């Protein structure tokens, strides 16, 4: 039985929508609702992917996480650049938040740190407590000190009382004869705390490579499945 949204329109079946072209319900409720194939609307679980991206590579990774999340029915992902977030309380309605930042000087960029500091007002209320959290980072070098950024993101989420989800994708580099860290391999850097991707010195339409993007999608699916598990 598909759970219905808690907004007034869903309380009985008269909420059936007539507009055949509409796929998302504008019920006015805080949550984003979707229409099923019979045009009844049901509650979506909503995941925010909060990211900063100076040159577009981290944004590209965020887009692939979104693809993975939305492979799971009933889960929708919103891409939110920290530049666009006027008030961190806007995130309070999401079931899960995924944090993503490039590695700059072995650390989160100041733009993302500002977001983290702004979120101290959420910490005061513990408004994100028990929400699911996960994180990702992209950098130019294979290592590039990405682990430090994942540690920063994880620590931030734990300060907020959130439930941190690991990457959970096996490193498949062993399937490729030529090298470990093959660009087609999943989780080629063998990360566990979160998703690591590498972009080298090329444009976001070229890099990170295919294996990293597929890993991002599997990570997104895992996040969505856990959102549903947490109810």
Q: Which residues bind ligand FMN (CB under 6 A)?
A: 53-58, 102-106, 138-141, 144-145, 199
Give min distance, CB of 58 to ligand FMN, in A.
3
Four-point Cα dihedral 33, 76, 205, 80, nearest 10: 80
Give min distance, CB of 61 to ligand FMN, in A.
8
Cα separations in angstroms, 189 against 136, 145, 168: 13, 12, 13
Cα 192 to chain centroid, rounded: 16
Task: Pick between residue 51 and residue 76 the one whose CB is nearest to ligand FMN.
Answer: 51
Question: Which residue, among 42, 86, 48, has the nearest Cα to 66 in the 3D structure?
Answer: 48
Give min distance, CB of 87 to ligand FMN, in A.
24
Question: Which residue, among 22, 46, 45, has the nearest Cα to 35 in the 3D structure?
Answer: 22
Residues in contact with 205: Cβ distance below 8 Å, sequence separation at least 6, in sequence order: 60
Task: Pick between residue 47 and residue 101 the one whose CB is nearest to ligand FMN.
Answer: 101
Task: Pick between residue 43 and residue 59 the one whose CB is nearest to ligand FMN.
Answer: 59
- CB–CB of 15/43 below 8 Å? no
75-81 and 45-51 as β-strands: parallel, antiparallel, unpaired? parallel
Task: Pick between residue 46 and residue 58 the one whose CB is nearest to ligand FMN.
Answer: 58
Give min distance, CB of 152 to ligand FMN, in A.
13
Task: Pick between residue 53 and residue 215 the one whose CB is nearest to ligand FMN.
Answer: 53
**Closest residue to ligand FMN using C-beta atoms:** 144
Q: Is 77 helix (H, G, I), strand (E, B) or coil?
A: strand
Give min distance, CB of 178 to ligand FMN, in A.
23
Give min distance, CB of 137 to ligand FMN, in A.
8
- CB–CB of 24/33 below 8 Å? yes
Q: How far apart are CA 53 and CA 100, in angstroms?
A: 9
Task: Pick between residue 41 and residue 57 the one whose CB is nearest to ligand FMN.
Answer: 57
Task: Pick between residue 140 and residue 190 the one whose CB is nearest to ligand FMN.
Answer: 140
Q: How far apart are CA 226 and CA 231, in angstroms?
A: 9
Give min distance, CB of 11 to ligand FMN, in A.
44
């Amino acid at each position: 039985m598909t759970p219905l949204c808690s907004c007034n329109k869903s309380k009985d079946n008269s909420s059936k929508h007539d507009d055949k072209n509409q796929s998302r319900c504008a019920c006015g409720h805080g949550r984003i609702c979707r229409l099923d194939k019979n045009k009844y609307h049901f509650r979506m679980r909503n995941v925010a992917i909060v990211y900063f991206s100076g040159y577009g590579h981290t944004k590209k990774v965020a887009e692939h996480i979104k693809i993975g999340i939305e492979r799971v029915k009933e889960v929708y992902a919103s891409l939110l650049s920290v530049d666009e977030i006027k008030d961190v309380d806007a995130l309070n309605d999401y079931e899960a938040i995924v944090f993503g930042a490039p590695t700059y000087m072995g650390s989160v960029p100041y733009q993302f740190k500002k977001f983290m500091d702004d979120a101290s007002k959420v910490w005061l209320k513990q408004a994100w407590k028990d929400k699911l959290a996960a994180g990702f980072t992209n950098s130019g070098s294979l290592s590039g000190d990405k682990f430090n950024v994942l540690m920063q993101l994880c620590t931030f989420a734990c300060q907020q009382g959130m439930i941190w989800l690991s990457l959970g994708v096996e490193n498949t580099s062993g399937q490729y004869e030529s090298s470990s860290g093959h660009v087609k391999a999943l989780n080629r850097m063998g990360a566990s705390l979160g998703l690591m991707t590498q972009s080298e010195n090329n444009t976001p339409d070229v890099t990170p490579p295919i294996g990293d993007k597929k890993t991002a999608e599997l990570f997104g699916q895992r996040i969505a499945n856990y959102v549903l598990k947490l109810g």
